[in-house]
Amino acid sequence: MSAREFLTNVVILSMVVQIFAGVVILDFSAGYLAHRALHFFPVLWRFHRVHHSDDFVDVTTTYRTHPVETVWRFLFVVVPVWMIGIPALAVVIQRLVGSQWHSGARQYPTLTLGRSGAVPCLGDAQCP
Ligand SMILES: [Zn+2]
């Protein structure tokens, strides 16, 4: 392996690590911390309950947000990007993966109970 090939591999590997770490950091910041705060602080919950008021949870639920929540979450993306220098591709990947968060909601058993309260509701077909 030539020195040029070695350096190319190091740069590519470094970029892959930066993108992966960036996705993890953004998921923690915008996905977890921002969401926890939206539930914890009553003033933020007033805006976030728009998202939780969706009767039919699917991929569109991700985009059912109050504009204030959108700005709130945006701050939890921009600040880490600005402070750490997270690559733009990490932001794109995290947003694409994050937007699919509710897409499998109808494919898995839910924690809700049927009308009787005794039988778990495993999806629309089984729900009374
Ligand atoms: Zn929530």
- 8's enclosing H/E stretch is helix 3-26
Amino acid type, 128 = P
Distance 50 CA to ligand 1 centre (A): 9
The pTM is what? Answer: 0.69
Distance 97 CA to ligand 1 centre (A): 17
What pLDDT was estimated at residue 34?
94
* Residues 6 or more apart whose Cβ sits within 8 Å of residue 124: 106
Residues 83, 99, 122: CA angle, nearest 5 degrees: 135
Distance 92 CA to ligand 1 centre (A): 22
Per-residue pLDDT of the chain (128 residues; tens, 9 = 90+): 888 888 888 888 889 999 999 999 999 999 899 999 999 999 999 999 998 888 877 777 888 889 999 999 999 999 999 999 999 999 999 988 876 666 554 444 444 444 443 334 444 433 43
**Best CA proximity match to 23, nearest among 74, 80, 70:** 80
What pLDDT was estimated at residue 52?
87
What pLDDT was estimated at residue 100?
66
Residues 54, 59, 62: CA angle, nearest 5 degrees: 65
The token pair at 55 is 């009767």
